[in-house]
Amino acid sequence: MAFSSILYSPVHFPLREPRSHLPRSRQLSVTAALPPAADVAAVADALDGTTIAVIGGGSVAALAAVLSLSDPEKRRQMQAEEVGGGDKEVVREYFNNDGFQRWRRIYGDGDDVNKVQRDIRLGHSMTVENVMKMLLDEGPLAGVTVCDAGCGTGCLSIPLAKEGAVVAASDISAAMVAEAEKQARNELLEGKEELPAGLVLPRFEVSDLESLNGKYDTVVCLDVLIHYPQNKADAMIAHLASLAENRLILSFAPKTFYYDLLKRVGELFPGPSKATRAYLHAEADVESALQKAGWRIRKRGLTTTQFYFSRIVEAIPA
């Protein structure tokens, strides 16, 4: 399921051009210089109104010092016990209930979102745009089979279908799948009885990534690896690669010392956005997993907004 790569703490990227002035040709190669310190005062906006003490000077050392004040891992264990399982069960439960309501708003186009959620919406939509550009750079998508692994509410599946792709979309959340199917019918049929010539409704199913099978020209998995620790992510990347014949596109929350620290600080403050464990991944680890599966990275991209950052890689058989 498409879950935002938000790290629950704001990072400002002063060198990033305003979205309205960023040419589509450059969206794929967006890079940003890390600021010398996080604007910790703005964290309150990301924590659903929680008020926290501002750490003076933005010192990384000061940020690290507060990590001992809470035990987010204990909260995760309690959540897992409540639903009778591990990460997968927690994710399924969350995205079928509170998480579904929250992320349906974020992925939608309504006004019932706060500043942070609106920024995450922008970041995710930019990731979808960048992935569509990657795909269309290789030519028309009419008739191309695409597996959208972790489709969420259909943010990618629907644009793919509009381009004529034959889409198999899945998500671990039945609520997400139902919403995606509803949105697809509304947008593709537009109140008519039949689809326009050349278009096919995506085939939606409820499934975790491990259960996916079949063969597709292209497999795409956006912002889902955030639910997998690296040892499991390696196996999942290999599995997704086994389903793809020509292209595999992944997006994931990049793991660096700085981003990891921000994430850990954010986890000190419980909130509905942090009901599931979030794993960051080093690009080198993802690339290594792809190489072991016999694939190599051909294109890379980085989507950044104030509260959302996601690395995109396109891989092809080596």
For 95-117, write each residue's pLDDT tens digit: 888 888 888 898 988 888 899 89
Q: Where are the beta strands (DSSP E) in 236-308?
A: 244-252, 295-304
Higher pLDDT, 14 or 123: 123
User: Considering the entire predicted model, what is its pTM?
Assistant: 0.74
- The predicted pLDDT at position 66 comes to 45
Q: Where are the beta strands (DSSP E) in the chain?
A: 145-149, 166-171, 203-206, 216-222, 244-252, 295-304, 309-317
**pLDDT-wise least confident of 46-50, 98-102, 280-284, 300-304:** 46-50
Estimate to the nearest angstrom the gap between the alpha carbon of 184 and the chain centroid.
20
- Is the CB of residue 54 less than 8 Å from the CB of residue 40? yes
- The predicted pLDDT at position 314 comes to 98
Q: Is 172 a residue whose pLDDT tops 90?
A: yes
Q: Give the mean model confidence (pLDDT) for residues 8-26.
A: 35
Which helix (H) or strand (E) segment is 4 a member of?
Answer: none
Q: Give the mean model confidence (pLDDT) for residues 251-262.
A: 74
Higher pLDDT, 64 or 35: 64
- The predicted pLDDT at position 133 comes to 96
